[in-house]
Amino acid sequence: MKYILLLFVVLSISGCSKKKDIATDQVRKYYEGFKNSDYDQIRGSISDSLTITEGDYTMPFTPKSFYEQFKWDSVFKPDYHLMELENEGEQIIATVSVKSKKFEFLKNNPLTCRHRFHFKSGKITKIENLECIDADWEIWEKERDSLVKWIEVNHPELNGFVHDLSMRGAKDYLNAIELYKNRAIE
C-alpha cells in the first residue's frame, strides 16, 4: 500500500511539472514568434480565443484578429527580450522588455512589463498585463499628447492614428512621428 501511495505522489508531481514545462514552452514560443516576426509560431501557442486585459480594458481576439494586432505591432520594429518566467500555480508570469520605434518616441524605451499567462489544453487563452515596471506614464502621455495636437493642426489627414490598431494606423503613427520630429526643419 505504501508503494502505491508513493507511486501516486511521484506521478502527480511529475504531471504538474510537465504542465508547467508545457506552459513555459508556450510562453517562450509566443515571444520567439514576435522576436522572429513569425506569426505561425505565435499561432501555435495560442488558443482559438485569446483575451488580453489591461486593467478594466478587455480585448478579445480570434487567431485572425490577433494576426492584425501582430501586423500592427510589427510596423514599430519591436525587439522583445524575455527576461524572466515565474510559475504561479496554473499560470506563468513573464517579465518582458520591449524596444520599439514607438516606445523610443514616447521616451519609454525599453518598456519592461509583467504579464500573467493563463492556459487551457496547453494553449494560451488569456494574457493579463500586470504592470510596466519602468514606465513613466507622465512622459508617455506628454509626448503622445504633443504629437496628437501637432498632427491635428499640421496634418489632419492623419487624425485618429493613435487609436487605429490596423496596419494602416500603425504606418500613420510612424509617419506622424517622423513628421513631428522633422517639424523644425520645415
- Domain check: are 7 and 60 in the same one? yes
Q: What are phi and psi of 160, to 5 degrees?
A: 90, -5
Domain with 94 in it: 2-135
Question: How many domains would you assign to the chain?
Answer: 2
- Report, as ranges of residue numbers, the positions in the chain whose pLDDT lies below 50: 3, 5-17
Given this model, what pLDDT does residue 186 score?
55
Type and span of the H or E element at 81:
strand 79-88
On whether both 162 and 118 belong to a single domain, the answer is no
Cα–Cα separations (whole angstroms), residue 65 to 49, 55, 172 = 10, 21, 20
* Contact predicate 144/162, CB 8 Å: yes
Same domain, yes or no: 34 and 107: yes
What whole-number distance in Å separates Cα of residue 99 and Cα of residue 103? 6
Specify the pLDDT at position 13. 45
Report how far residue 61's alpha carbon sits from residue 42's, in angstroms, rounded to the nearest whole number.
13
For residue range 33-79, what is the model confidence (pLDDT) as tens digits? 999 999 999 999 999 999 999 989 999 999 999 999 999 999 999 99
Looking at residue 27, which CATH number applies to its domain? 3.10.450.50
Quote the pLDDT of residue 10: 42
Give CA separation, 167 vs 4, 5, 39, in Å: 58, 57, 15
